[in-house]
A = this chain, B = another copy of it.
Amino acid sequence: MKPYEKFISREDVLQIHEATLRIFKESGIAFENDKIIEICKKNGLKTEGYKVFFDEETVEKARQTFPKKFELRLTADENVILGEHAMLRLPIGHPAFYCDENGVIKKMNSDLAIRQFKMNEACNATNSSLVNQAIMFDTNPTEEQMIFGAAAFRYKYSNKYHISAGEYCSGLQPEEAYHRSLQGLELLKRFKGIESGIYAQSGINSLSPLTFDEMPLYRLLAAVENGIPMAVIPCAMPLLTAPASLAGLLAQTNAETLAGMILTQLINPGNPVIYCNVSGGTDMRTLQLCIGSPETALIGYATAAMADFYDVPFRMGGVMGDAKQVDAQAGAESFMMLYATYDCKPDIALHHVGCMGAMNVYSCEKFILDEEVANYVERMLRGIDINEKKLAVEEIVKAGPRGSHIKGRTPKDYREDFYLAQLFNKDDPNNWQNSGGKTIVEVAHEEVERRLKAYTPPVLSKEQEEIIMSYLPEKLKYGI
């Protein structure tokens, strides 16, 4: 039994797929891009303006060519298979706000984005690089730097895997994004020094309901023409951009994801795809997206289920949270989402740690505490190890009734079986309060400062430096 079957059955999955086929037939999907419409027409599909109607034959043909798995070259020497629960983990990406150690929420800026970036470098819970685009604020960049500066920053300063090109296309003419995407991919390829094979993955958002707007489709085109694996990512909100029911939201967003995936096969049959869905709930009092909600966890399980049905790699999670402070809500939502994520083991977990305020707020202290929560979750999901030796009957008999089990040194069995909290408070309440009563946010903050101080940049080759340096504005060129 797969973990998702606890929440959604295989029969349910089939019903969602069948609803999707009806949506393809009766509503169509809007691809607001002339080149894409041309491709669809060439493939003999029925169109009406920007609307494309996928027939069942096209759907089935595309499903035949989705790769079940593919090898991603993390570096020139290291590979990983996506489609086998690779668990590439990236931290939260581009929050517009920063919550400081006193709980004050401020606008993100370049210096705060550097703190955010450095936090990821010392983190065991993530393994891939990401930097907030806010790194470019206050740096007076040229146009080239604005577009590729954040990527170049990662390549220069991160010790983690670079799995995406991350060109910044906001404000460009839609068609320009096509060329900039090609340029961004080329930059990453050269930096990694990889001649062949898959060296990156990419993703675009759908525009719910049932639409893809012009620029993302140009980015998709550039990527897929070059065999880059593509994630198609809906972020629908029930009662606004999706129906009122969770099932309806899943039917619609599956139509969006599947449509994008089919499109990749029309452009480049056999191009790898990554199933994804980051939809959540809607709080109708505030009209806010709710991603720290039980329904988001369920959408995560549904994502794993649909990916299994289409037999493709998938992306979900990790920490999605709506809390505004590093508080009990933050902890509960982190546990919920990390549990769902580690339970399903996606190939990619974006927003893995540090997310607050529905992806809009970053906190270094939350980031640290999420690591602890991730450790709890991983320990729990390892389950109970029962074997002759661990059952320890001889030891139990030897100690006997009222006997002692105290050992001189902490035994291996204990270290294996019992997780030792790193930051969470396991002290006696009185002792703790009488010795100063440091809060866990204060403890986390000390760890934050330690890590920021300990940051060390990677050593790049002269060739690598040459490839990227022109994209870095002065302020970010000579160390952080």
Q: How far is the CA of A399 from the CA of B11 in the complex (A)?
A: 26
Contacting residues, chain B, for A309 (C-beta < 8 A): none
Q: How far is the CA of A379 from the CA of B28 in the complex (A)?
A: 33
* Cβ contact within 8 Å between A283 and B426: yes
Which one of B105, B339, B411 contacts A339 once the chains associate, using CB atoms below 8 Å? B339
Q: How far is the CA of A399 from the CA of B369 in the complex (A)?
A: 42
Q: Is A290 an interface residue (CB 8 A)?
A: yes
Q: How far is the CA of A241 from the CA of B248 in the complex (A)?
A: 53
Q: A19-B391, A239-B407, A425-B324 are in contact. Are A12 and B329 (CB under 8 A)?
A: no
Q: Is A238 an interface residue (CB 8 A)?
A: yes
| A residues contacting the other copy or chain, number (CB 8 A) | 131
Which one of B29, B243, B380, B405 contacts A413 once the chains associate, using CB atoms below 8 Å? B243
Contacting residues, chain B, for A369 (C-beta < 8 A): 328-329, 332
Q: Is A125 an interface residue (CB 8 A)?
A: no
Contacting residues, chain B, for A325 (C-beta < 8 A): 425, 439-440
* Cβ contact within 8 Å between B421 and A290: yes
Contacting residues, chain B, for A207 (C-beta < 8 A): 402
Q: How far is the CA of A263 from the CA of B330 in the complex (A)?
A: 46
Q: Is A93 an interface residue (CB 8 A)?
A: no
Q: Is A350 an interface residue (CB 8 A)?
A: no
Task: Write the residues of chain A forming the contact surface with B, with a CB cutoff of 8 angstroms.
Answer: 1, 3, 6-9, 12, 15-16, 19, 22-23, 26-30, 50-51, 97, 103-105, 207, 209-211, 238-248, 250-252, 255, 281-286, 288, 290, 292-295, 297-298, 301-302, 322-336, 339, 357, 360-361, 366, 369, 372-373, 376-377, 379-380, 383-388, 390-393, 395-397, 399-407, 410-411, 413-414, 416-421, 424-433, 437, 439-441
Report 27 cross-chain contacts, Cβ distance below 8 Å, ordered by A residue: A23-B393, A27-B401, A105-B433, A209-B401, A210-B402, A211-B401, A211-B402, A239-B407, A239-B414, A243-B395, A244-B411, A245-B413, A283-B426, A284-B414, A286-B431, A294-B379, A298-B383, A323-B425, A327-B331, A327-B439, A327-B440, A328-B440, A329-B331, A329-B369, A329-B424, A339-B339, A360-B429
